[in-house]
Amino acid sequence: MPGPTNSAPAASSDTWPGKDLGLPAEGSRSVARLGRRIAALAIDGVLADLVAAALHVYPSGRDVAEGWWVLGIFAVLQIVFIAVLSGSFGHLCVGLRVVPVRPGYIGVVRPVVRTVLLCIVIPAFIFDRDQRGLHDRIPGTVLVRR
């Protein structure tokens, strides 16, 4: 009688985030991982705060409307940088870029839709197996490594 064999299924190494989109598992054009995404978001948030402080619209706690200025500045920076450079300032600092799922130019509409959904916050926490949040899925974009 033969001895017991290890018949437990091995972890599937033939799937990775972005495989269904035709992206590689690692390296350039692979789906951005969580650590880089958080770092980029933090950099973008600090940049928006610095711009708000320079424009003297930084929230002082006395007026709720002042807090919307920072979010507005964040949104404008996201839209402009993504439309022009295919990534926000934070994305570029950590080696990421936003690309359309289908080949072509990122345009202006995709960054606007993506940024509005990102500013709502909740769509960024609803993601698929390719690690794309609704803020990327709805406009047809994906955040990848440079």
- pLDDT tier at 7 (50, 70, 90 boundaries)? very low
Residue 119 scores a pLDDT above 80: yes
Write down the pLDDT at residue 12.
Answer: 53
What's the average model confidence in pLDDT over 94-114?
94
How far, in Å, CA of 35 to CA of 21, rounded? 21
How far, in Å, CA of 54 to CA of 109, rounded? 28
Q: Which helix (H) or strand (E) holds 37?
A: helix 34-54
